[in-house]
């Protein structure tokens, strides 16, 4: 599909696509049969509200358009919806075959006519609305008839033309749903637990909104919070951001660890050295030639004083030798 065709298709969907959901449900006992009282909160684009109310009944008597269902397109739309929920922190939806049949071609009797699902019926009977043409009922009445007991429910519908591939059409319509606040609100509703997606294709389709549109795809997303389901868990807290790592520069100095101390040699156990005794000097005898010879006794002097200086000097020299 070209960019111009995509632009035209989106403009057509904005004119016609819409979302609706049940705000609340209460059970009212009337005799033996419980009845369901529904409060609807339609969420539709302003230009679509008029189209939803003023259904062109002349279109209902047209010959039924040839319709083909595509399970691949249904599966693609279901997977993309869960991807959107996961990306936004919302738990995934469980596939519900009953909701899928209602969104596509399940038969339903109302207002004296039989309709076939949502997507097939809108293609076959050439209309586009959350209100089932000729019945005046919403899809929630079909859910009740098929035993889908819900606490809350919703529906997204949309169509696109000029596309022959079901997967591509589903991907495109999912993107447009996510770009529309009302459709996005249904897709990301944390209360919903189950979903079924239905589709229908016609090579030539028209409705009160215009046409004919070649290779048109109709999509219906049916959401429900089943009565037996538990409330949604609280959203998981986002992890704290990790601190940014410090920059490492190539030439920056780096601290090196101190080298290990040198290995010490093992302690030796050498025997203690015995102290060396100090040698005692051996006296050397004086040679006989040097020994003093006997000196004759000096004469006795009757000298009252000291010896003469000459004798004193000789005696001193002898004593110092």
Report the pLDDT value the prediction gives residue 269, as an integer from 0 to 100: 59
Are 122 and 244 in contact by the 8 Å Cβ rule? The answer is no
Position with higher pLDDT, 117 vs 286:
117
Exposure string for 57-81, b = 16+ CB within 10 A, e = fewer = eebeeeeebebebbeebbbbbbbbb
Position with higher pLDDT, 291 vs 220:
220
pLDDT exceeds cutoff 50 at 24: no
| Maximum pairwise Cα distance, the chain | 192
Report the pLDDT value the prediction gives residue 53, as an integer from 0 to 100: 31
Query: How far is the C-alpha of 244 from the C-alpha of 29, rounded, in Å?
Result: 63
Residues 6+ apart with CB under 8 A from 64: 124, 125
Q: Which region among 29-33, 220-224, 271-275, 283-287 has the lowest average model confidence (pLDDT)?
A: 29-33
Q: CATH assignment of 73-228+307-316? A: 3.40.33.10
Task: Please state the rounded mean pLDDT for residues 138-142.
Answer: 95
Query: pLDDT confidence of 33, banded at 50, 70, 90?
Result: very low
pLDDT exceeds cutoff 60 at 138: yes
Are 166 and 80 in contact by the 8 Å Cβ rule? The answer is no
pLDDT exceeds cutoff 90 at 274: no
Residues 6+ apart with CB under 8 A from 257: none
Position with higher pLDDT, 90 vs 245:
90
């Amino acid at each position: 599909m070209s960019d111009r065709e995509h632009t035209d298709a989106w403009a057509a969907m904005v004119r016609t696509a819409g979302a609706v959901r049940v705000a609340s449900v209460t059970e009212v006992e009337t005799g033996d049969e419980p009845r369901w009282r529904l409060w609807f909160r339609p969420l539709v684009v302003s230009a679509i509200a008029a189209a939803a109310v003023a259904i062109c009944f002349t279109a209902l008597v047209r010959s039924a358009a040839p319709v083909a269902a595509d399970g691949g397109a249904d599966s693609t739309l279901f997977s993309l919806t869960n991807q959107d929920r996961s990306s936004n922190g919302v738990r995934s939806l469980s596939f519900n075959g009953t909701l899928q049949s209602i969104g596509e071609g399940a038969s339903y009797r109302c207002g004296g006519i039989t309709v076939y699902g949502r997507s097939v019926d809108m293609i076959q009977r050439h209309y586009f609305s959350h209100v089932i043409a000729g019945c005046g009922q919403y899809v929630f009445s079909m859910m009740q008839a098929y035993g889908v007991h819900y606490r809350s429910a919703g529906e997204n519908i949309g169509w696109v033309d000029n596309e022959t591939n079901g997967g591509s059409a589903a991907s495109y319509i999912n993107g447009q749903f996510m770009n529309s606040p009302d459709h996005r609100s249904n897709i990301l509703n944390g209360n919903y637990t189950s979903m079924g997606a239905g589709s229908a294709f016609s090579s030539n389709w028209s409705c009160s909104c215009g046409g004919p549109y070649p290779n048109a795809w109709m999509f219906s997303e049916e959401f429900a919070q089943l009565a037996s389901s538990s409330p949604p868990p609280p959203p998981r807290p986002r992890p704290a951001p990790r601190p940014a790592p410090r920059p490492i520069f190539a030439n920056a100095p780096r601290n090196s660890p101190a080298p290990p101390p040198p290995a010490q040699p093992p302690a030796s156990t050498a025997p203690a050295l015995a102290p060396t005794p100090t040698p005692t000097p051996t006296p050397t005898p004086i040679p006989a030639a040097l020994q003093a010879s006997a000196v004759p006794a000096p004469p006795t002097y009757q000298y009252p004083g000291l010896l003469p200086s000459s004798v004193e000097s000789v005696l001193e020299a002898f004593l110092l030798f």
